[in-house]
Amino acid sequence: MSVAPAPEGSARRAAEATATATEEERQRNRKKSNRLSARKSRMKKQQYVDGLAVEAEKLRRENDAMRAGVGAVLQRCRMVEQENRVLTAHARELCSALQLRGSQLRLLGEVAGVPLDVPDVADHLVQLYGGGGGGLGMPPLSPPRIPVLFFQPDSVMDAVSMIQDYESI
C-alpha cells in the first residue's frame, strides 16, 4: 500500500509542475507576443508621425510659395493702380482739352457768323474725367479759358490763329 500512494502524489506533483511549466510558458509567450505587438505599434506610430512631419514640411513650403505669390500679385496690383492713376489723369486732360476745343469751335463759329454744330462731350465722360469733379474723388477742373475777341477777324483761319496764339500765352 505504501507504493501506490507515492505514484499518485508524484504524478500529481508532476502534473502540477507540468501545468505550472505550461502556464509559465504561456505567460512567457504572451509577454513575448505583447512586446512584439507593442514594438509593431510603436513602429507604426513612428511611421505615422514621420509621415505627418513630411506632410507638414510640404505644406509649409506650399504656404511659403503662396505667400510669395500673393506678394507678387499685390505688387502687380500696386503697379496697375499706379498705371490707372496715370491713365485717369491723362483721360482728364483729354476730356478737358476736348471741352476747350468744343468751346473754341463754338466761339469761332460765333465770331465767323457761321453756326457750328459742335457736339458736347458725353455726360458720362464729363462725370468721370472733367467738369465739376469726377466720380473718382478728384477736384473739379477749372472751366476752360475762352478768349474774348473784341473785333471781327477777316477770316476763320485768322480767328483760329488768334486762338492758338492766345493759348500759347
* Per-residue cell: 11: 504524478
3-state helix, strand, coil in the chain (%, to 5): 75, 0, 25
Give the range among 11-15, 18-22, 55-59 with minimum mean pLDDT. 11-15
31 found inside a domain = no
Give Cα 44 distance to the centre of its chain. 41
Q: Which residue would you say has higher pLDDT here, 75 or 155?
A: 75
- C-alpha 83/C-alpha 80 separation (Å) is 5
Number of domains comprising the chain: 1
pLDDT tens figures, 98-134: 888 888 888 888 888 887 888 888 888 888 887 544 3
What average pLDDT score do residues 157-168 get?
63
Q: Which domain holds residue 112?
A: 43-168
Q: How far is CA 169 from CA 43, 123, 143, 147, 164, in A?
A: 90, 30, 17, 11, 9
5 found inside a domain = no
Q: Which residue would you say has higher pLDDT here, 157 or 30?
A: 30
122 found inside a domain = yes
- Phi first, then psi, for residue 40 (nearest 5°) are -60, -40
What percent of the chain stands above pLDDT 70? 72
Q: Report the predicted TM-score, pTM, of the whole model to 2 decimal places.
A: 0.46
Q: Could you give the count of Cα atoms lying within 13 Å of 55 in the half-sphere of its Cβ?
A: 6
117 found inside a domain = yes
29 found inside a domain = no
20 found inside a domain = no
What average pLDDT score do residues 84-90 get?
92
155 found inside a domain = yes
